[in-house]
């Protein structure tokens, strides 16, 4: 007969950790998407002039995320910044996501045929009008699958914030495992919650892509 020490309070604790994971993902993707859009536009429009920016973004893509968390958290203390651990986590994850989102946006814009963009300009559109009405809508459809995969990756990367003291889903599950000593059950439940969150995000993304196809 199956018996467990897992209680409803433990399940609620896991759900609270999952909610923290969702909030971290939303905050990081908001920062990363805005920063990535701006940097991606600059990289696509002024490739040579923005080489220093490209090198800086390569640093954030190359250095392991855990090291970035530890370094930024230490620099925050040295600089005397009164930032919460949640703000630090969103900031680091946001910059990390923005570094990848930049290349996603740049790739999407470069995938728009130059002839199409020139046609827009020949119709009398300004650079910004052509960008808004032609280039960005076409680039968005190309870049969206990559952005969606980035979103799912950032959601899983939030597990690393436990190293700076945030109780997200994985940290919550480890806390419960320490108390009841049932790692298989608790980690299976945590994995199921991660899967359900990813499933919802993926389904929403698929629905959006289908609407785009229906409007073509």
pLDDT in tens, 25-69: 999 999 999 999 999 999 988 888 888 999 999 999 999 999 999
Q: Domain spans of the chain?
A: 8-215
Tokens 């990367």 -> residue: 157
Dump pLDDT digits (tens) for 123-178.
888 878 888 888 888 888 889 999 999 999 999 999 999 888 888 999 999 999 99
CATH homologous superfamily of 8-215: MetI-like (1.10.3720.10)
CB atoms within 10 A of CB 67: 10
pTM listed for this prediction = 0.90
pLDDT tier at 96, thresholds 50, 70, 90 = very high
Listed residue (83, 85, 65) closest to 155, CA to CA: 65
Sign of the C-alpha dihedral computed for residues 61, 67, 97 and 193 taken in this order = positive
């Amino acid at each position: 007969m199956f018996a467990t020490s897992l209680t409803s309070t433990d399940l609620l604790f896991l759900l609270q950790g999952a909610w923290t994971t969702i909030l971290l993902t939303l905050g990081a993707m908001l920062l990363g998407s805005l920063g990535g859009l701006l940097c991606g536009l600059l990289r696509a429009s002024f490739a040579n002039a923005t080489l220093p920016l490209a090198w800086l973004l390569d640093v954030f893509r190359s250095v392991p995320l855990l090291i970035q968390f530890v370094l930024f958290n230490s620099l925050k203390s040295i600089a005397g910044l009164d930032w919460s651990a949640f703000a630090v986590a969103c900031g680091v994850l946001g910059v990390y996501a923005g570094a990848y989102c930049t290349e996603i946006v740049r790739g999407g814009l470069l995938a728009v045929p130059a002839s199409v963009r020139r046609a827009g300009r020949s119709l009398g559109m300004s650079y910004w009008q052509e960008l808004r009405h032609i280039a960005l809508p076409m680039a968005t459809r190309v870049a969206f699958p990559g952005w969606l995969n980035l979103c799912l990756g950032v959601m899983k990367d939030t597990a690393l914030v436990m190293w700076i003291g945030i109780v997200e889903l994985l940290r919550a599950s480890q806390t419960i495992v320490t108390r009841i000593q049932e790692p298989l059950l608790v980690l299976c439940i945590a994995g199921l919650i991660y899967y359900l969150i990813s499933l919802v995000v993926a389904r929403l993304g698929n629905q959006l892509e289908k609407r785009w196809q229906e409007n073509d």
